[in-house]
Structure 1
Amino acid sequence: MTKKRSTAEIIYSILNACRERTNKTKIMYASALNFAELKKYLDILVKSGYLKEENEGKNSYYVISESGNRLLQILEKYVHLLHEKEELESQLGDVLSKFRE
């Protein structure tokens, strides 16, 4: 069974992909989103000032802003703690399952 990612985890993956100037296709693959979902997140992140959009002809490129870098740092800590919590819950579940036998 696959685990549904939180909005914070998705935003983290997008901002992380945009540390260097990149296009939508690369962001889409790095963040494992379909194009419609990616567009929704990119629009919000650009409007909020976390990403900068640069247009060259028909092509759009995205790069993280200063405020986006600050948010990315916060999200890195959050995602790390979230994964640590999940690991601890798994370990605890293993121990507690012995009491149910």
Structure 2
Amino acid sequence: MRVARRTSPSATIRPARLIAAALASAAAVVALTGCSGYVEDICSGGEYPVSAVGSTGSACVKNDEEPPKGYTRYPEGKVPQHVDDKWDVYWRTHMLDKDGTIVDAPEAG
């Protein structure tokens, strides 16, 4: 004679709880680390960054083109490559004047 086995409700829930706990742990890891390995380029491929003359503005220009009127190339060695890199941060508080001289940008008020 066969006896029917009763399974407790917790026995059927246990795999679901395990999966939920694993997903929650994975979500926590992503939330805590974010996209720490991701670096955003200043310009897209085939472009280079240029500085607005007399302001902290910037733009991207195709590699085979000259900067448009009102823009100039960054000084050699001081070209921002990635968002929040050393030079991107620097050019937020500095600018190039009409003579190409680096000057402090006026404080926003």
Q: Same fold (TM over 0.5)?
A: no
TM-score by length of 2: 0.26
Larger Rg: 2
TM-score by length of 1: 0.28
Q: Which has the higher strand share?
A: 2
Q: Which has the higher helix share?
A: 1
